[in-house]
Amino acid sequence: MRAVSSLHVSDKTLHFSGYALLAILPILGMRRKASALWAAGSMVLLGLLLELAQNFVPGRSPEVADEVANALGVACGIVIAFPFRRPEKESAG
């Protein structure tokens, strides 16, 4: 955390960037579009739960702006990764 704080980058930028990367990974790695979207979308829920959990950590508090940055990061990650997805396999049948 000390190394991250020495970067002099906005906390919101870090939230956005981290969640964009988290969303890109399942989009690129999963062949089924619906599964990839569910996996990436679940990152928004992850961010919300982590923000809410900060209520129970001394010296930390949840911020709505952090969750907005998380959700925007996920959305941007999905948009960036979709053109590079592997195509779905066609089912035989």
Q: Is residue 91 part of a domain?
A: no
C-alpha–C-alpha distance, residues 76 and 38, integer Å:
15
How many domains in the chain? Answer: 1
Domain housing 23: 11-84
- When pLDDT is cut at 50, 70 and 90, the band that residue 69 belongs to is very high
Structure-token match 């089912």, residue found: 91
Q: Flag whether the pTM goes above 0.85.
A: no
Structure-token match 């930390």, residue found: 60
Average of per-residue pLDDT values in the chain:
88
- When pLDDT is cut at 50, 70 and 90, the band that residue 53 belongs to is very high
Percent over 90 (pLDDT), the chain: 57
C-alpha–C-alpha distance, residues 25 and 38, integer Å:
12
Q: Is residue 6 part of a domain?
A: no
